[in-house]
Amino acid sequence: MAVLKKRIRIIVAQSSYRKASHLKQILLLAEYEQKNIFEVIESAEFLQTLQEQAPIHLAIVTPTALAQLEKSHSLQTLYTQLPAVSLMLIAEEGDRGEHRGGKLVPDYMLTTQATAETMDNGISMALHNHERRILAMQHVEQGATAMQQGLSAEARASFEEAIRVGGHDPYPCYMLGELFEQMGETEQAIASFMQAWEKDPTYFEGLHRVVTLYLSRGEGQRAIPYLEQAVDQGCVPVEGLVMLGTLYLEAGVMERARITLKTACGKQAARAMAALVEQARAMRQRQGADAAIALLQLGRDVQPEYAPIYALLGDLFTEQQQLREALPCYETLMRLSDPLPANYCRLARTYLALGHPLRADKTVREALRLDPQCEEAARLRVAILDHV
């Protein structure tokens, strides 16, 4: 592929390449006749391709950002406090000052001389990878169209070609897994989803589908090692931690389940608890209300101020005719959440069933005060009057 390079100019402020600390500033300006490199490749990929040939510290800035640094006298501070930043890449800006990459990204150490030829090779490789990704996505689109038309053989051929040319891109493998699952080939689907995750461990959706398929077959415990591996690699989202905690609970490993859920809540409590409620709903479908109640109770112990847990927990107790257990759940829900007619109705219905019509009447009046058109509250009011 012809390199679309007009010129590459390297300005060295301190010209010693022997040690990274001696090289305080390199400004690289890359101009292209047909393509702007900052429009067609990601800076992270550029770092990776360059690092394979000449590992460096790279900071990407724009002319505006550079001018602001100089005006605020921050540039000298940068050189003093971050001497390992060996190279500053100047990105081009649009007419309105739009640009890509205004952050300093010190990722690599300079170990060898970064020559114009090295930069040229890195840019060429990155552009080549970009073109391969475009080709891979074309094959994926063809495969998706064939899937919609029920042409399984054609879809599989397209996805496999996308995998061949797509390099480390996990998405073609994911789509092949979708095809196998649609065809009922569960083992092959699991293998393809795993391949997607192995290509890019940060692409958790591939591993999530593996876990989902094992759960659908009643083999959730087989997914635990994969989730543990993701945790060890530090690339599992809070939803994945909640899923792992749920599987530990199903396996009867209560302390591991508790620790895992605490870890998830320590990262992002609201997201973790929302995921736990969804896991409880799914567990109810798989194993029944008792299993879902056990998970919600564990979640309540870990994060006792999360209101939605008490709504579902109370509803499940009510479904099991355990009204005395449901009542404190609904009372706690009223304390933690905004006043909603539906929650007042939950509580009033429970009071009435437990033989407390006066409490039920007072509660349902609050529901009607909030929403005079609430049909459920009106029906409860009639039922309460029949008991008074």
pLDDT value at 210 more than 90? yes
Strands of the chain, DSSP E: 5-12, 26-32, 58-61, 87-90
Tens of pLDDT along 150-199? Answer: 999 999 999 999 999 988 889 999 999 999 999 999 999 999 999 999 99
Give the pLDDT confidence score for residue 317 in this predicted structure: 96
Tens of pLDDT along 108-131? Answer: 333 334 455 555 565 566 667 777
Give the pLDDT confidence score for residue 387 in this predicted structure: 72
Give the pLDDT confidence score for residue 120 in this predicted structure: 57
**Mean pLDDT, rounded, for 81-101:** 43
In the numeric block, which tokens belong to residue 246? Answer: 């749920």
Q: Does domain 237-337 have CATH number 1.10.150.120?
A: no
Distance between CA 95 and CA 177 in Å, rounded?
A: 44
As a CATH number, domain 120-209 is: 1.25.40.10
pLDDT value at 45 more than 70? no
Give the pLDDT confidence score for residue 66 in this predicted structure: 58
Contact 211, 223 (CB under 8 A): yes
- Cα–Cα–Cα angle for 130, 134, 135, rounded to 5 degrees: 115
Per-residue confidence band for 234, with pLDDT thresholds at 50, 70 and 90: confident
Contact 280, 292 (CB under 8 A): yes
Where are the domain boundaries for CATH 1.25.40.10 in the chain? 120-209, 237-337
Give the pLDDT confidence score for residue 286 in this predicted structure: 86
Residue bearing the bigger pLDDT, 6 or 82: 82
Give the pLDDT confidence score for residue 76 in this predicted structure: 57
Distance between CA 190 and CA 200 in Å, rounded?
A: 16
pLDDT value at 98 more than 90? no
- Mean predicted lDDT score pLDDT of the chain: 76
Per-residue confidence band for 89, with pLDDT thresholds at 50, 70 and 90: low
Contact 140, 159 (CB under 8 A): yes
Q: Provide the residue type at 351 as one letter.
A: Y
Contact 130, 41 (CB under 8 A): yes
Give the pLDDT confidence score for residue 126 in this predicted structure: 63
